[in-house]
Amino acid sequence: QSFEHFASFRKSDAISSSGSQSPFPPVRRFWDRTGRWALFILIGGSLVLLGSLGFLLFLWNGADEAAAGRDSGERWRAIVFAGWTTRAITITAAFMRTAATAQDAVLTAMIAALFLESSGTKLRHLPALSVARAVGPTPISLIGLNLFDRRPSLGLLYWVLLLVTNALWIASQFTSSILLSDFADLSIAGPNTSAVVKTMTSYGEYVTYTNYFGASPPFFPRFAEWNDPEQSQDVHTDEPYVDTGPTLRAAVPWVNLDDRLGLRYYEGASRLWDARVTCFRPEFTNLALVMERRPYTYTVTGDFVCHDRRPVVEPPDHKCSVNCTFNAFKGALICGTNALFSTGTSLPFLESKKKSKMVIKSNLIHSSSPSVWPDDAKPSIRIGGEEGDWILRNEGPWMTAFDSNGLETLSFSSCIMDDLLYNSNVSMSGPPAPSEPVMTWLATPEEEIRGSLDTLEIRHQLGVTHGSSSLEDRGILSLELAASLLTAEDVFNRPVEPYEYSPSIDVGLYSVNEGRPVVFDQVSSIDPDVWTVPHELHTAIFLNILDSTNNPAKALQALSTILNHMQAFDRSTTWTAEQPASYIMSREVSIPAGRDGLLAIVVLVAVQHVVMAIVVALFLSRTRATLLGNSWQSVAQIISPETLEVLLQADDLKDSEVRRSYLDPSEKGLVRRHGSRSQFVKREDSGLGS
């Protein structure tokens, strides 16, 4: 009865005063209409969203810099190396999701007000829309009301805005998943670490000799290299020499494979060697090839002018000699000479006596072989001058001998190289390598012999394949010529005695200096008691380089690098000298590797703000009676003569029962100022007709 009295009182009041009251409610300030809390949500939410985007861009840009090997910034590294990257994304996504959800709730309340005051709504939707203005529900709560109506056109616009807001709300729930879809496990430069590392054997400790020529290389480790290609000389028929150019190489002082592959920067002590090799065409003053029948062997003796043909180093010309015995085979051999060269480099402590070695290519498995010679064949064949003798021809860095039938037999090239290893402070840097090369058998070898070994990966790492390859492509590091390398006063810048402390290639070639050659033979069997026989892997690499480049300097440079590495890592268990060093290793971390997810979030935030601007503008311009967030007002405005009967009967009914029993589906109306109050009024016109 009290409710009926209240309703009748308001109804009679409206009838009696309708003529004297303004059709519009009192003018309110916009923050009263939106509500201070809703205004705080809209502005504060935008600040949270934009600030979160700024933080995300910081993370993504830092990841791009780190992936490219550039400095990503101290703060970025602190977050990543502390393991907080994905956690930071999760927290940021939670802030963004909360802000977007709160904004969407306010926008939903505004859209509900637009339906009520601007386009009109069916009577059955009146309670839900009116209450929505007060509580700010999720957009999806209004989708099920079937508010779509093409008439008037404003209703269509509001319906589209509601759908877009609902889509934004749903998408915001997956912010974290969208952002994390860009993530991948990437290898980046880790923190700079200072430590004391063991890099060499202490001075004075005796190291026993190991035959590295006869042993198989356990692996082919990456190394650091500095090279001046401007001073190099490749094979050319008009040039009497080949030169690798000034080259320094240093071992990466880590035994563990993953550490070597992941190293990006190192500064400290390491094994360093002068890897420059020059080979020149010997100018023989006499040359003889003597054959012995039992057993069939050859002895090459000769004298030649053994000067260094490089333009940058010109030691005095003097006579050198070679005396080398071998049997008939197809391949190559290294013979010792009596020549020593005192040559200098730009690094004072690398001044040393470089030893000359004769590289001989042999092609004696043909008609000139003693196995098919007649019994009256000459026991001694002197090259040059007489009919039937072998003749010499100049072929680039080679002096090549041809027999009387015009077949190539032997080719000679005198090479100069440094046989010493040094302990030195070095600095090396570069990107990580995916792997170190391995040697395998060819997939379909014609026969299981040494020549069927696939050495391409090793030759590529050593820089002796066709075409120029960068250090990164070869999987090695760049050796920096730091100031410490340019002074001989540094405690580490002193050579290690090769025979006593640090066996190097010269120890492997000990027999060469005694007249016994190292024979690289890929066909016949060589007696290891008579000649030095390298392991088949050394043979395959050395001969493959000679066959593919015809460059003895590159073949010797590659061989010395492999042997020096074998020596260095073979002694790794005896390293006792501890030296300070700093290094940067690769760290595998989960960081952004793409931008699709980030771009999607940027688009969502942009669309969110566009929709928010449109809805707020429409709300402020097309509504008058709504004060968002006010529950009593929202309830009071649905009480009118048109709804009073339904309200009095709906206390124990479901919505479906109310619609079925008391509502006309075609009835529509708006919230308007009627008399002295704002209330729902029916409106029968073409714009609101069913």
Same domain, 539 and 522: yes
Residue 189 confidence (pLDDT) above 60: yes
Picking from 204-213, 367-376, 523-532, 631-640, which range would have the lowest pLDDT averaged per residue? 367-376
Residue 669 confidence (pLDDT) above 90: no
Same domain, 578 and 613: no
pLDDT of res. 451: 45
Residue 25 lies in a domain: no
Residue 690 lies in a domain: no
Give every CB contact of residue 435 below 8 A, 6+ residues apart in sequence: 261, 475
pLDDT of res. 594: 92
pLDDT of res. 515: 54
Same domain, 600 and 582: no
Residue 490 lies in a domain: yes
Distance between CA 347 and CA 99 in Å, rounded? 64
Residue that wins the pLDDT comparison between 663 and 262: 262
pLDDT of res. 11: 41
Sheet holding 677-682, edge to edge: 121-122, 668-674, 677-682
Residue 27 lies in a domain: no
Same domain, 320 and 380: yes
Residue that wins the pLDDT comparison between 417 and 486: 417
Residue 667 lies in a domain: yes
Which residue intervals of 68-174 are DSSP H helices?
A: 74-81, 85-114, 126-135, 140-143, 153-172
Task: Choose the final residue of a domain: 588, 609, 634.
Answer: 588
Same domain, 557 and 628: no
Residue 556 pLDDT class (50, 70, 90 cuts):
very high
pLDDT of res. 106: 93
Residues 667, 654: contact at Cβ < 8 Å? no
Residue 85 confidence (pLDDT) above 70: yes
Residue 534 confidence (pLDDT) above 80: yes
Tens of pLDDT, residue by residue over 458-492, are: 999 999 988 778 999 999 999 986 545 544 444 44
Residue 264 lies in a domain: yes
Tell me the average pLDDT of the chain: 77
Residue that wins the pLDDT comparison between 266 and 449: 266
Distance between CA 623 and CA 617 in Å, rounded? 10
Tens of pLDDT, residue by residue over 114-157, are: 888 887 777 777 788 888 888 888 888 887 665 555 455 677 88
Same domain, 323 and 471: yes
pLDDT of res. 117: 83
Same domain, 523 and 426: yes
Residue that wins the pLDDT comparison between 421 and 429: 429
Same domain, 489 and 352: yes
The count of structural domains within the chain is: 2
Distance between CA 104 and CA 142 in Å, rounded? 12
Q: In the numeric block, which tokens belong to residue 305?
A: 């002018």
pLDDT of res. 352: 53
Same domain, 617 and 649: yes
Residue 91 lies in a domain: yes
Tens of pLDDT, residue by residue over 284-331, are: 888 887 777 656 677 888 888 766 555 544 455 667 888 888 776 788
pTM of this prediction? 0.72
Tens of pLDDT, residue by residue over 615-655, are: 999 998 888 888 888 888 777 777 777 777 777 777 776 77
Residue 685 pLDDT class (50, 70, 90 cuts):
very low
pLDDT of res. 446: 53
Task: Choose the final residue of a domain: 522, 557, 588.
Answer: 588
Q: What residue numbers bound the domain in which 292 lies?
A: 193-588
Task: Choose the final residue of a domain: 564, 588, 612.
Answer: 588
Residue 651, class by beta-carbon neighbours within 10 Å (0-12 exposed, 13-18 middle, 19+ buried)?
Answer: exposed
pLDDT of res. 92: 96
Residue that wins the pLDDT comparison between 577 and 604: 604
Same domain, 605 and 574: no
Tens of pLDDT, residue by residue over 358-402, are: 888 888 764 444 444 444 444 445 555 555 567 888 898 999 888
Residue 28 lies in a domain: no
HSE on the CB side for 96, CA within 13 Å? 32
Same domain, 578 and 603: no
Picking from 158-172, 426-440, 605-619, 644-658, which range would have the lowest pLDDT averaged per residue? 644-658
Q: In the numeric block, which tokens belong to residue 572?
A: 């790794």
Same domain, 212 and 157: no
